[in-house]
Amino acid sequence: MEKLLCPSMMCADFGALKREMEALEKAGIDLYHLDVMDGKFVPNFGMGLQDIQYICGQGKKPADVHLMIEDPGNYVELFAGLGAKIIYIHPEADTHPTRTLQRIIDAGAKPGIAINPGTSIGTVEELLYLSEYVLVMTVNPGFAGQKYLDFTDYKIEKLSAFKEKYGFEMVVDGAISPERIASLSRKGVKGFVLGTSSLFGKGRSYEEIIPELRAL
């Protein structure tokens, strides 16, 4: 199965964003991963609207937006209008997640749900009908550089059994090392959000790293 390699842009050097994007695209990345946080749903703040607009507008690769915010349905049209091709919401943050997923579709983007480590698959299974992508959080959301939570492997295996029934693709986010990419790709995971565990701050060029990750 072809991998979807998605650099987490909150880990990039924003002082040299244009150069970072050019290097990532030259290396062969597939999709930019953009984190939005409101300081309420998660105790941190994410990327600004100007940065998201720049990446979506100037990038030669598409971008997803991961909304770690309360009431994400209020902002679907905003982020779709900025150019997000996939929009992830956390069902726990939304009173009417099915309505929000439909709004994402109506806005011209692809709908996705993000599942926290402590969220049961059973509580969100009905949403899989409307989800083209499922983002499995393998750390608690909000901060880079955390330790991988091993028990999320069970969640990934359980979701993998639902893929054919519901027709979604699975993406993982959080402490995704090269070793995790190799093992999780065998469990049906297509997409990998790449942060400091595999891509950024390694003292090597993206052009060296990305082909190695794709070959795993």
* pLDDT value at residue 1: 81
Which position among 35, 38, 71, 94 bears the catalytic label? Answer: 35
Residue 38 a catalytic site member:
no
- Each residue's pLDDT tens digit, 153-208: 999 999 999 999 999 999 999 999 999 999 999 999 999 999 999 999 999 999 99
Domain 4-190 classification at class level: alpha beta
Q: How far is 175 from 197, CA to CA, in rounded Å?
A: 5
Q: Which band of pLDDT confidence, cut at 50, 70 and 90, is reported for residue 102?
A: very high
Query: Between 143 and 60, where is the model more confident?
Result: 60
For helices 49-58 and 17-27, the axis angle rounded to 10 degrees is 40
Picking from 82, 46, 78, 38, the residue whose alpha carbon sits closest to that of residue 62 is: 82
Please state, in angstroms and as integers, the Cα–Cα distance from residue 61 to each residue in 14, 138, 145, 162, following that order. Answer: 18, 25, 25, 29
Count of Cβ atoms closer than 10 Å to residue 75 Cβ: 18
Residue 173 a catalytic site member:
yes
